[in-house]
Amino acid sequence: MYQYFFEENKVTLTSFESFLYAVRNGRDTLTGAYQVYIDKFDISGATTIAQEAGRHEVLVAGQPARYHGFWWLPAGNDQKPYKLTVGTGATTTDTLSATASSFVAGADHHVMLGHQLAEVVQDGTQDGGVRILKVDGDPATDADWGSAFQVGDNFTQPLGMFSLEGLAFVVNNDGLYSFNNVGRSGVVWEDFRGWYDIFESLHPKPYKGGILIPHQSGLIWWTPGSLPINCGVDRSFWTRTPPSTLVTPDFTGGRYHSVAVSGEFIYAIYQPDLISTTAYVLCGYTDDNPADMKWIVMDSFTMRYGLELASNAVLMSGIHVALNAALNTSSVNTPTLVYGVDGDLAYIQLDQNGSPFEHPSSNFTYTPRTAANAWMSELVFPTEMKLERIVVYTQNLVSGTDSFVLSRVADVDGLERTVGASIIANGRNVRDLGNLICNRFILNVTYAGGTSHTTLPMITRIELWGSPVSNDR
């Protein structure tokens, strides 16, 4: 599956091309040996993303970094890093420098610390820890790297690495550690020490002055000097009320594989059950408070665990917003969400602000799922309520093709019951609830539609009308 993504532009006197590189990791189904390679995709001037011929083979799947105009890819302990020089067209036009052993400053992950390159590696043939490249140094020259210093347990594989506010951070299973460009390090918080992560790597991303860490305990948002909080799709279930026994929510206690950030929007790969191969592409956004995120489902897909060795379950599935993509015209960038599905690259075109809602160009065709089902958050009323009607506002429905069907579950009988006729018209739609008396209420929406739209069919607002039963007495 694809774990890490990065982009590079190739400019010549006569052309401008953008390429997406995807680092793919997995185990051979027969030998169990790692197979790590990099695929190259053309993301400019076409209606689709096209994979270039060939691929680069590498030793490890780690976090790359762009330094002095080139991409540097880690090769593991005792190995010189790869230097990628991007060519035009097929992968064979690229130049990927060979790695070599007996290299003291080997790396599992790279990150930029201001204008300097830093790396972290697990202890092995060479000492583990963090090293920082001297100013304007050459990453392929051993002598240009500083001495290793310890950041957490060097004998544990580092999960991820990132920089924020002039500091760099390493995520280990025993905690979150920070360090600066003079080699001073310390633990920030040790919550991970009691929760050993099953994945071999994490990919933290900056968001709203803090950092997002997809972890087994939740989607963690942290800013320096503050306590970490869970801002994921399942947060509301734990902070408000226990899930109802009437309906088992799908999005509770799941696993965040990775996240991508585009302005105000977070995109995440979420796996509700690690035993299952079902995963979802989610989008979260908020006005100003990451602790109160709104989440929508953009896609569902099947992980490849069922087709490969079970040991692949330790590999996170990556997601990325390709900002240099230009799928409609080579002169205008069109941000595109990319992720791996069953060994292939899947993508969803976003609008020019990186939002998922609607693309402004007239030649863009949005292709939604032809069927979908969603349970809304459960409403728990402090007193017995008499519910009169639901009002649903819709837009972009295609007449004769699209429809929404409402159903509800309430504690009065615990059964799922259809609410009125199907919604097939745009605008304001009223459905009668028949003065339903209840204390707990859940709404379900089922969608059925066509295969192609120029705009996204959507429900823009849902209103629930009613009053306390006590008002009738």
Domain boundaries, the chain: 2-370, 372-472
Identify the band that residue 255 occupies on the pLDDT scale cut at 50, 70 and 90.
confident
Q: Is the pLDDT of residue 367 over 70?
A: no
Please spell the DSSP secondary structure of 410-425, one letter per residue. ETTT--EEE-SSPB-S
pLDDT of the residue at 390: 97
- 158-214 tens-digit pLDDT: 888 888 877 788 887 777 777 766 556 666 666 665 555 667 788 889 998 888 988
Q: Are 120 and 129 in contact (CB under 8 A)?
A: yes
Distance of CA 281 to the CA centre of its chain: 7
User: Distance (Å, rounded) from C-alpha 163 to C-alpha 161?
Assistant: 7
Query: What region, left, alpha or beta, does residue 102 occupy, with left being phi > 0 and alpha being psi -120 to 50 degrees?
Result: left
Phi, psi of 311 (to 5 degrees): -65, -15
2-370 CATH, one of 2.130.10.10, 3.40.640.10, 3.40.50.300, 3.50.50.60: 2.130.10.10
CA distances in angstroms from 131 to 66, 179, 328, 338, 448, listed in the order given: 17, 10, 43, 32, 55
- 301-334 tens-digit pLDDT: 887 654 344 445 667 889 999 988 887 665 677 8
- 68-111 tens-digit pLDDT: 999 999 999 999 999 999 998 899 999 999 889 999 999 999 99
User: Distance (Å, rounded) from C-alpha 385 to C-alpha 441?
Assistant: 10
- 327-366 tens-digit pLDDT: 766 567 788 999 988 678 888 888 888 888 755 454 444 5
Q: Is the pLDDT of residue 371 over 90?
A: no
CATH topology of domain 372-472: Jelly Rolls (2.60.120)
User: Distance (Å, rounded) from C-alpha 406 to C-alpha 418?
Assistant: 6
Identify the band that residue 29 occupies on the pLDDT scale cut at 50, 70 and 90.
low
The angle at the Cα of 332, spanning 326 to 336, to the nearest 5 degrees, equals 40
> Which single residue is written with the structure tokens 């011929």?
53
Identify the band that residue 437 occupies on the pLDDT scale cut at 50, 70 and 90.
very high
Identify the band that residue 40 occupies on the pLDDT scale cut at 50, 70 and 90.
very high
Q: For residues 429-458, give the mean pLDDT.
A: 87
Which residues contact residue 198 at a Cβ distance below 8 angstroms, ignoring those fewer than 6 apart?
216, 274, 313, 314
Report pTM.
0.78
Q: Are 26 and 35 in contact (CB under 8 A)?
A: yes
